[in-house]
């Protein structure tokens, strides 16, 4: 009844006054014997029950002795909260009954899942012999408490074989080409390991990056690669490779190119596209000792920020807000220095009067010269950090993604040459030389990938190259245009002798185009109009179409999947170009001296088992993403 509802009071549960409730005569309060009180909370006032609060909806009704409990029962019949609770209880009870009825322990499946979990989390196989782990299993299911280590090891080899066979089949059915990346793992022992990864875009337009070999580097790299190509049937699919060591590039490519037979190719028939690992190349910009002045600046800043508990606490606050990947003891030295100086600059900005809050110490703040050095160091190094973050992002592996970060770094290196006292901070001239050397090998393929990005195309490159190269911009733009048209012809199904002759004519005219003559686009349009051919119709329509909107959610692979029927030749080309690997380093180890998986190499097992473990772990983890 409406008259039974009262205004809310302070709620006191039974536990709040347990002592007083124990002395209460239960016969005196007979109303608590009613089942209805199981669904209401008594509310006391001056030691007496004055009201009752519904546990389902929170509504308060009269709970006085004189009122009885019939009104509480009536409320429960119409309580919307109670109906929801009952429905959930019935659903849970039904589900539990169904599970209990249908549940059947499958030991083989459980061992399979346990083994996969052990592999994915880098656990030792001996964990199954651990007493606490066995107790844990026994608590879940007593019949599963004993799993011999030998059983897990045997199941592991079975999983490795199944996953390898499944991956081989997937690659064989993929219509696009594949790329290899050669990474070198150091782990402090006399011998290092060569890690071979495979990268490709499958028929669902998903990019894949899989480890297929991890062997002792005492074995010649060219032998490892050749064996992998034969084992995985890649002879007709391989298009190129990313490398860390220039020596690997020379030895591997020369040997492989003698036996290539792929129908599609990016550089030239029987030639591999070779790309320097971007992460390794960016680390090599610091392939010399950091200047003593910048190192001493870092030491001064650290002591100043951590001298007292008060300052140390504020320093930790800054670190918690720093939008950088936190380094570890195995991080590159340049990154440790950058992280420290970045934190110091924010510390000094956030707490300019720290000495008023904390008593002055004999350790003073960095000098104006040191502060200037820290700012200049961070200004130059930050775009290097950003570029490595982009290239190592496991969710952003298409080749077009890297152009913008590397272009930004190139611009920073050029503009920083005029910064005052820069020689006290970095060997900028050496860094520029190193970067330009790699840029010459990157820029053409990065540019082609940008052309195949419907948000940018050639118009974007024309703007960027004009800004970056000035009067020489036309030379670079012509080179990119020429390669795009050349690749389009190569990937066309209707290649004929006349098309090839026309392509050669365009390439001969590249030199003229670079000095202001008609563009390749105009030449191809003129050729189509005069001769009645439409070899470039698809390409010209794509380049002339409206640009897609730039937003963070844009998925370039989905776009090409959705538009493959409209641009079939370009879609085939995009599948290969966007799959070019930017690095040969794992994402988790981008800022580390050693690969994070190198710890597996210390296990007291055979090299063959180590290789199988690393590969299987990679396949399982990637399938879970």
Residue 19 has pLDDT above 60, yes or no: no
Q: How far apart are CA 568 and CA 489, in angstroms?
A: 12
Residue 524 has pLDDT above 60, yes or no: no
Residue 101 has pLDDT above 90, yes or no: no
> What mean pLDDT is predicted for residues 539-557?
93
- Quote the radius of gyration of the chain (alpha carbons, Å): 34
Structure tokens at 384: 């290097």
> What mean pLDDT is predicted for residues 100-112?
72
Task: Give the pLDDT of residue 408.
Answer: 96
Residue 313 has pLDDT above 70, yes or no: yes
Average the pLDDT over each of 313-317, 370-374, 490-494, 571-575 and give the range with the smallest value.
490-494
- pLDDT digits over 217-269, tens only? 667 788 888 899 999 999 889 999 998 877 667 777 777 777 665 556 677 66
Question: Which segment, 182-186, 262-266, 483-487, is predicted with the most confidence on average?
Answer: 483-487
The residue behind tokens 């606050």 is 317
Q: Provide the b/e sequence for 393-421 (b: ≥16 CB within 10 Å).
A: eeeebbbbbbbbbbbebbebbeebeebee
Quick one: which of 458, 353, 358, 352 has its CA closest to 403?
458
Q: Which residue has the higher pLDDT, 190 or 572?
A: 572
Position 387 confidence tier, pLDDT thresholds 50, 70, 90: very high
Q: How far apart are CA 398 and CA 580, in angstroms?
A: 7
Concatenated DSSP letters of 118-143:
HHHTT--GGGGG-HHHHHHHHHH-GG
Backbone dihedral angles phi then psi of residue 337, each to the nearest 5 degrees:
-65, -45
Backbone dihedral angles phi then psi of residue 565, each to the nearest 5 degrees:
-70, -30
Q: Which residue has the higher pLDDT, 94 or 99?
A: 94
Give this prediction's pTM. 0.76
- pLDDT digits over 558-570, tens only? 999 999 999 999 9
Quick one: which of 193, 225, 246, 189 has its CA closest to 595?
193
DSSP 592: B
Q: Which residue has the higher pLDDT, 270 or 436?
A: 436
Position 129 confidence tier, pLDDT thresholds 50, 70, 90: confident
Q: How far apart are CA 401 and CA 388, in angstroms?
A: 12
Quick one: which of 112, 105, 104, 103 has its CA closest to 147?
112
Task: Give the pLDDT of residue 512.
Answer: 45
Position 596 confidence tier, pLDDT thresholds 50, 70, 90: low
Across all residues in the chain, what is the average pLDDT? 81
Position 514 confidence tier, pLDDT thresholds 50, 70, 90: very low
Task: Give the pLDDT of residue 530.
Answer: 40
Q: Domain extents for the chain?
A: 2-98, 157-277+584-624
Q: Provide the b/e sequence for 561-584 (b: ≥16 CB within 10 Å).
A: bebbeebebbbbbbbbbbbbbbbb
């Amino acid at each position: 009844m409406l008259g039974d509802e009262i205004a809310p009071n302070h709620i006191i549960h039974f536990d709040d006054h347990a002592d007083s409730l124990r002395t209460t005569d239960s016969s005196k309060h007979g109303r608590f014997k009613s089942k209805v009180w199981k669904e209401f909370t008594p509310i006391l006032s001056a030691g007496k029950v004055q009201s009752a609060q519904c546990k389902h909806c929170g509504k308060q009704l009269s709970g006085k002795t004189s009122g009885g409990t019939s009104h509480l029962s009536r409320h429960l019949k119409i309580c919307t909260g109670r109906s929801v609770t009952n429905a959930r209880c019935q659903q849970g009870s039904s589900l539990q009954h169904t599970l209990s009825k249908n549940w059947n322990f499958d030991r083989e499946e459980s061992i399979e899942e346990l083994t996969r979990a052990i592999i994915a989390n880098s656990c030792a196989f001996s964990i199954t012999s651990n007493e606490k782990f066995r107790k844990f299993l026994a608590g879940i299911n007593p019949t599963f408490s004993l799993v011999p280590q030998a059983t897990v090891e045997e199941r592991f080899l079975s999983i490795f074989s199944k996953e390898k066979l499944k991956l081989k089949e997937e690659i064989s059915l993929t219509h696009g080409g594949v790329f290899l990346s050669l990474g070198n793992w150091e782990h402090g022992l006399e011998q290092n390991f060569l890690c071979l990864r495979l990268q490709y875009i499958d028929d669902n337009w998903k990019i894949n990056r899989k480890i297929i070999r991890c062997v002792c580097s005492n074995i010649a790299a060219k032998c490892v690669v050749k064996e992998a190509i034969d084992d995985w049937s890649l002879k007709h699919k391989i298009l190129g490779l990313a490398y860390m060591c220039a020596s690997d590039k020379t030895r591997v490519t020369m040997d492989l190119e003698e036996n290539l037979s792929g129908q599609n190719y990016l550089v030239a028939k029987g030639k591999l596209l070779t790309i320097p690992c971007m992460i390794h190349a960016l680390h090599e910009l610091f392939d010399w000792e950091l200047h003593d002045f910048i190192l001493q600046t870092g030491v001064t800043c650290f002591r100043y920020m951590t001298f007292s508990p008060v300052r140390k606490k504020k320093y930790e606050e800054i670190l918690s807000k720093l939008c950088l990947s936190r380094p570890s003891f195995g991080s590159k030295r340049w990154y440790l220095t950058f992280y420290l100086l970045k934190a110091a600059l924010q510390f000094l900005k956030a707490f300019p009067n720290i000495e008023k809050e904390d008593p002055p110490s004999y350790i003073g703040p960095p000098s104006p010269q040191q502060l200037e050095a820290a700012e200049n160091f961070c200004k130059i190094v930050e775009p290097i950090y950003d570029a490595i973050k982009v290239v190592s992002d496991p969710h952003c592996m298409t080749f077009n993604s890297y152009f913008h970060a590397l272009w930004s770094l190139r611009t920073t290196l050029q503009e920083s040459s005029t910064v005052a006292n820069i020689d006290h901070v970095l060997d900028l001239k050496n860094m520029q030389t190193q970067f330009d050397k790699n840029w010459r090998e990157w820029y053409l393929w990065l540019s082609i990938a940008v052309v195949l990005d419907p948000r940018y195309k050639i118009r974007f490159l024309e703007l960027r190259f004009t800004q970056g190269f000035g009067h020489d911009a036309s030379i670079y733009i012509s080179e990119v245009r020429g390669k795009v048209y050349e690749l389009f012809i190569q990937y066309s199904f209707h290649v004929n002798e006349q098309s090839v002759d026309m392509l050669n004519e365009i390439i001969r005219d590249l030199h003229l185009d670079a000095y202001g003559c008609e563009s390749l686009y105009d030449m191809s349009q003129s050729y189509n109009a005069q001769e009645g051919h439409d070899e470039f119709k698809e390409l010209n329509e794509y380049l002339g179409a409206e640009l897609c909107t730039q937003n963070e959610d844009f998925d370039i692979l989905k776009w090409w999947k959705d538009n493959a029927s409209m641009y079939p030749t370009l879609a085939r080309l995009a599948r290969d170009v966007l799959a070019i690997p930017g690095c040969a380093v794992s994402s988790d180890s981008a800022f580390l001296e050693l690969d994070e998986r190198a710890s597996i190499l210390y296990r007291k097992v055979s090299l063959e088992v180590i290789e199988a473990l690393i590969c299987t772990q990679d396949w399982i983890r990637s399938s879970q993403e």
